Amino acid sequence: MARIRPFRSEDVDALSDVCVKTADVGKDATGMLEDDALWGDLFAVPYALRDPALCWVVEADDARVIGYIVATDDTNAFATWFRDEWWPSRRDRYRASGAAVPTPQDRFIAYGDRQAPGDDPIVQEYPAHLHIDLLPETQGQGLGRRLIDTLLAELGRRGVPALHLGMNADNLSAGAFYERLGFTELASGEGSTTYGIRIPAA
């Protein structure tokens, strides 16, 4: 039976691996980018390293990490740290193609380059945000719900009032999952859907 446990520093490579294997709307994105490590460097590893107390992993019976949740309790503070400390430490690994039509990797590099604090009203109202990824073998065990409940409990203990997340608009099953947990759809951009949830104080 898989179990949820706190992140440990030796889990970094496993976080990246799960991130890649779920990055294509929940499916394996291996080979989609020129360097698979970019997925984890954008959407998983920096969260775990900046605030490991907001990261939990799902561990299989054989000790493999087969899922995780990572988060920040302050999106603008995270964006500042990402821009000033994390991304400069990783950016030189990833080279833009220079092609007239940007490659998928070019677009994700540009996403990293754009990260900065701002005045987004969603971020002001829902300051925390998360990323959650689970391999297919975890399905049907209630692990996604348990991960989110664990995170919300910690955010409530910290006095964080609300949380948001963004996802690919094509991932309809994920949207249904979040709605079952009490998330509501917020204003969303083209190709993406944003959900938010209020967090009771602990």
Instruction: Identify the pLDDT of residue 38.
Output: 98
Extract the residue ranges of the chain whose pLDDT is less than 50: none
- pTM greater than 0.85: yes
Instruction: Identify the pLDDT of residue 117.
Output: 97
Give the chain's domains with CATH numbers.
Answer: 3-198 (3.40.630.30)
- Residues belonging to the chain: 202
Give, in order, the Cα–Cα distances in Å from 184 to each of 127, 143, 181, 193: 15, 20, 9, 10
Instruction: Identify the pLDDT of residue 94.
Output: 97
Instruction: Identify the pLDDT of residue 188.
Output: 72
Instruction: Identify the pLDDT of residue 181.
Output: 95
Look at strands 55-59 and 128-134 and give their pairing: unpaired
Instruction: Identify the pLDDT of residue 161.
Output: 98
Torsional sign, CA 189, 133, 125, 79? negative
Residues linked to residue 3 through DSSP beta bridges, in sequence order: 59
Nearest residue to 131 via CA among 75, 179, 83? 75
Query: Tokens standing for 81?
Result: 């740290």
Nearest residue to 65 via CA among 4, 22, 23? 4
Instruction: Identify the pLDDT of residue 51.
Output: 98
Query: Tokens standing for 65?
Result: 């990490």
